[in-house]
């Protein structure tokens, strides 16, 4: 990876999440992760778009790993006595509604940036969750997530080497997700309980995540100077250009695939819509709450 584990790690100063005291928070958090892993079904779409054999083989393996991560989270949730519930609409929109419209967008925004962000959240849970069996499962999963991020970085480099004009577009789209994180920081700053050892540090953690995203963009070669040197007008222009390109792409698919875009055409239900009713998910029995307090 272009960023080390040390660079991506946020120092929570030893603060811990307690499986009993923080049960509600953990249930919310793990349900967002669970949904994120179910969106691994999208890898199938990108396997079909893979530019070469090496990429196809990587994605075939990744799809299996993401499905294993679904089981990892179900196992952790069962151990902690947490129930599978729907993910927050904003998370559903970010993970499904914002799916990349080209290979370059997928590897840059969903793999390098998106999975990079998720990886940082996994590191944070590993460092703070006071439940060794869950942390052990996560430690194994992060090795695979690190490879997914690395693949995203390498493929983004290849894409911009072949088409340098893509840098502007990818930067514009990346700025939007970083802006989204900044909005979240503003929202959380007013609402995080100052007396909670971990939650009170969440805004600072997200700021750190944005700094890492900027560093990654620079090391990949999408960004050639610190973001602070780009004026507000330049940023606005980059975002407008990137979304202008997306709108044009949408217009092209309107011509080629008219039925898919008709508003009344029923949307196909996918696993991301139905997983909570799936026998595989409901089959994970909830243990007695004592399990959450089981000795390490
Ligand atoms: Fe995953
Ligand atoms: Fe992944």
Q: Ligand 1 centroid vs 207 CA: distance in angstroms? A: 23
Q: How far is CA 87 from CA 30, 36, 118, in A?
A: 9, 9, 15
Neighbours of ion ligand 1 (CB under 5 A): 37, 66, 69
The single-letter DSSP state of residue 267 is P
Q: Ligand 2 centroid vs 257 CA: distance in angstroms? A: 29
Instruction: Output the pLDDT for position 295.
Output: 52
Q: Ligand 1 centroid vs 236 CA: distance in angstroms? A: 32
- Sequence length of the chain is 296
Instruction: Output the pLDDT for position 176.
Output: 87
Q: Ligand 1 centroid vs 37 CA: distance in angstroms? A: 5
Q: Ligand 1 centroid vs 258 CA: distance in angstroms? A: 33
Low-confidence ranges of the chain (pLDDT < 70): 97-98, 246-266, 285-296
Ligand nearest to the CA of 115: 2
Give the Cα separation of 167 and 172 in Å (integer).
Answer: 9
Instruction: Output the pLDDT for position 250.
Output: 54
Q: Ligand 2 centroid vs 264 CA: distance in angstroms? A: 33
Q: Ligand 1 centroid vs 140 CA: distance in angstroms? A: 11
The single-letter DSSP state of residue 17 is B
Give the Cα separation of 126 and 142 in Å (integer).
Answer: 10
Q: Ligand 2 centroid vs 147 CA: distance in angstroms? A: 8
Give the Cα separation of 44 and 33 in Å (integer).
Answer: 19
Instruction: Output the pLDDT for position 287.
Output: 53
Q: Ligand 2 centroid vs 69 CA: distance in angstroms? A: 8
Q: Ligand 2 centroid vs 291 CA: distance in angstroms? A: 28
Q: Are 206 and 133 in contact (CB under 8 A)?
A: no
Ligand nearest to the CA of 67: 1
Ligand nearest to the CA of 72: 1
Q: Ligand 2 centroid vs 185 CA: distance in angstroms? A: 24
Q: How far is CA 154 from CA 106, 149, 199, 221, 266, in A?
A: 12, 9, 34, 11, 38
Instruction: Output the pLDDT for position 10.
Output: 97
Q: Ligand 1 centroid vs 272 CA: distance in angstroms? A: 14
Ligand nearest to the CA of 43: 2
Ligand nearest to the CA of 69: 1
Q: What phi, psi does 92 have (nearest 5°)?
A: -65, -40
Q: Ligand 1 centroid vs 13 CA: distance in angstroms? A: 27
Q: Ligand 2 centroid vs 73 CA: distance in angstroms? A: 13
Q: Ligand 2 centroid vs 119 CA: distance in angstroms? A: 8
Which spans in 97-165 are helix H? 103-105, 116-128, 132-162
């Amino acid at each position: 990876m272009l960023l080390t584990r040390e660079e991506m790690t946020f120092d929570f100063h030893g603060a811990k999440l307690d499986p009993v005291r923080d049960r509600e928070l953990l249930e919310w958090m793990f349900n967002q992760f669970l949904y994120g892993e179910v969106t691994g079904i999208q890898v199938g779409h990108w396997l079909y778009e893979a530019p070469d054999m090496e990429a196809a083989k990587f994605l075939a393996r990744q799809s299996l790993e993401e499905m294993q991560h679904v089981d990892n989270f179900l196992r952790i949730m069962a151990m902690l006595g947490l129930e599978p519930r729907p993910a927050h609409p904003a998370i559903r929109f970010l993970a499904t509604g914002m799916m990349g419209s080209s290979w370059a967008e997928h590897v840059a925004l969903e793999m390098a940036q998106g999975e990079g962000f998720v990886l940082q959240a996994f590191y944070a849970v590993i460092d703070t969750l006071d439940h060794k069996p869950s942390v052990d499962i996560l430690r194994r999963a992060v090795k695979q997530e690190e490879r997914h991020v690395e693949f995203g970085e390498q493929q983004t480099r290849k894409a911009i080497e072949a088409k340098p004009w893509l840098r502007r577009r990818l930067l514009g789209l990346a700025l939007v997700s970083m802006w989204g994180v900044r909005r979240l920081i503003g929202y959380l700053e007013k609402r995080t309980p100052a007396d909670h050892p971990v939650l009170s540090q969440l805004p600072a953690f997200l700021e750190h995540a944005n700094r890492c995203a900027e560093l990654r963009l620079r090391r990949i070669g999408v960004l050639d100077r610190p973001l602070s040197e780009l004026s507000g007008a330049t940023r606005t222009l980059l975002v407008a250009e990137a979304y202008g390109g997306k709108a044009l792409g949408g217009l092209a698919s309107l011509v080629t695939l008219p039925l898919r875009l008709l508003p009344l055409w029923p949307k196909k239900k996918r696993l991301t819509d139905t997983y909570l009713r799936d026998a595989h998910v409901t089959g994970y029995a909830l243990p007695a709450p004592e399990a959450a307090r089981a000795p390490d």
